[in-house]
Structure 1
């Protein structure tokens, strides 16, 4: 019984702590559209639809009073509002930020925006015509891409099993890198 509790308590604590990750202030999920696919049925005329979308910045253009960015849409985590790096893109959108933001500081960054759906904008992707949903941004967050390392669970099991039988120096499990957003 004690062996089971030894694993259940830390496991439960880690699940509780992991679920405490919340979206940055201003990007909380209210009654907002949180997927690019849901924009297909949205009302583009009323300027009343709240959206929270994210993805990778493809292009940014500074204008007189605003900065316009083209974003490759990616699925956004429901709780943390981070773009999910492993997700497939399902389209692009234009986000309009108030004021000046240096376009080079946005290039190739991951971003989550929350704002009002304010119509459509015609454009081109290479030679193809494309209609971009346009979002008037109220709040946004730029995510830092980092490399996190993880260990294969089976290698740790082999390591601890060897220690149990008196091998104090054995192969240390291999670290594997993977990209993540913070």
Structure 2
């Protein structure tokens, strides 16, 4: 019984950390093409819903809205970009309204949902580049984490008896400090059926 309680508690903790923020959540039936699929055959995906994320490379506020250029990275199960030393490319997201460049600044991780518009010609430095473009209707700015303390329950294989009941594992508490990490979910968001955004508090 004791072991089951510890397992149940651990599962609840994991579930709470892996939920998709409301602002980029979509119906479970939504079919989302991978970034590589869209780039390979863009004409087959025009008008379809996508969820792309990455690290902000450029941000420009225009009269009709905000243009965000990103280095794309694959997403974790809950929507956060999995930042690494390798990226399959860049994309652009157009957002209606104003995004403050001091908040949505270069290097921050962000995820967008929206409709794929097509390929837009541009440049990266002096190099010509074709950017996949989405018209965003939801976005989530992810929290930057410098240090996080992780507590978990581990099961040590050491049999013991309690009130004449045999338990094959002995639970113990483990405390781990992760420094200079980039992971962690942000806070509240809004519905993604209309243009919404969220960022960490």
TM-score category of the 2 structures, normalised to the smaller one: 0.7 to 0.9
Structure 1 equivalent of residue 141 of structure 2: 142
Say which SS state the counterpart of residue 148 (structure 1) adopts. Answer: strand
Write the distance in 1 (CA, Å) between the matches of 2:51 and 2:138. 9
Write the distance in 2 (CA, Å) between the matches of 1:98 and 1:139. 10
Contact conserved, 2:54 with 2:71, CA < 8 A, in 1? yes
Write the distance in 1 (CA, Å) between the matches of 2:91 and 2:119. 9
TM-score (norm 1): 0.74
Is 2:103 the counterpart of 1:105? yes
1:175 to 174, 177, 180: 177
Is 2:16 the counterpart of 1:13? no
Instruction: Tell me the C-alpha RMSD between the 2 structures.
Output: 2.9
How far 1:105 moved relative to its partner?
Answer: 2.1
Write the distance in 2 (CA, Å) between the matches of 1:66 and 1:96. 7
Unaligned runs of 5+ in 1: 158-172
Structure 2 equivalent of residue 94 of structure 1: 92
After superposition, the Cα gap between the structure-2 partners of 1:111 and 1:45, relative to the gap in structure 1 and judged at 3 Å, is: same
Write the distance in 2 (CA, Å) between the matches of 1:33 and 1:6. 41
Unaligned runs of 5+ in 2: 157-174, 186-201
Write the distance in 1 (CA, Å) between the matches of 2:102 and 2:59. 8
TM-score (norm 2): 0.68
How far 1:176 moved relative to its partner?
Answer: 3.8
Write the distance in 1 (CA, Å) between the matches of 2:62 and 2:80. 27
> What is the CA deviation profile of residues 138-178 of structure 1, one whole-angstrom value per residue up to 9, with x for unaligned ones?
11111111121348999xx8xxxxxxxxxxxxxxx773423
The total of aligned residue pairs comes to 161
How far 1:87 moved relative to its partner?
Answer: 7.3
Higher share of residues assigned helix: 1
